[in-house]
Amino acid sequence: MQKITIINGPNLNLLGRREPEIYGSETFEEFFGSLMGRFNGKAHLSYFQSNSEGKIIDKIQEVGFEEDGIVLNAGAYTHTSVAIADAISAISAPVVEVHISNVHAREAFRHHSHLSPVCAGIIVGCGLKGYELAIQFLLSIGEEVSG
Ligand code: DQA
């Protein structure tokens, strides 16, 4: 079974409470429970969240040579972090960048991502559904690789 880790960056531990008009009212823990149910028997999903850039990089390095894919919402570090982009370039697992909100419809500083050029795909503005779409994509490319 393919192994996929979801990594959420800063302030995403506040989902459900944080600006619900932008990010919705569901906590990630609630959502992750239903997500695991949806992929039961199809993928082994893990979840990690940190507000620290270095801890996100440590997790990318830890799973990036072992697992089949990473779904990464790096939050605001998306727009600032060359170090996270370098970590994505360094590993062998494909990474899908996800943003819950449509960053292109928001402030100009959210329009640029250091991560997009080194990711296998990008899903923006689909709400929490974006995580599910990213997993489906990673499973489909994993099947192509393993035949
Ligand atoms: C976000 C968009 C980022 O610009 C923001 O800093 C976040 C969340 C999103 O999921 O829409 O923290 O990554």
What is the C-alpha to C-alpha distance for residues 121 and 25, in angstroms, rounded to an integer?
26
Q: What spacing in Å lies between the alpha carbon of 25 and ligand 1's midpoint?
A: 15
Ordered by start, the domain boundaries in the chain are: 2-146
Catalytic residue from among 23, 77, 114, 131 = 23
**pLDDT tens digits along 31-53:** 999 999 999 989 999 999 999 99
Does 23 qualify as catalytic in the annotation? yes
Taking the whole predicted model, whether its pTM rises above 0.85 is answered as: yes
**Three-state DSSP class for 130?**
helix
**Three-state DSSP class for 101?**
coil
**pLDDT tens digits along 81-107:** 999 999 999 999 999 999 999 999 999
Chain-centroid distance of CA 139 in Å reads 14
All residues at 6 or more sequence positions from 23 whose CB lies less than 8 Å from its CB, including other chains = 15, 100, 101
Q: State residue 129's pLDDT score.
A: 97
Q: Is 75 in the pocket of ligand 1 (CB under 6 A)?
A: yes
DSSP summary character for residue 102: -
- 2-146: CATH topology is Rossmann fold (3.40.50)
Q: What spacing in Å lies between the alpha carbon of 8 and ligand 1's midpoint?
A: 10
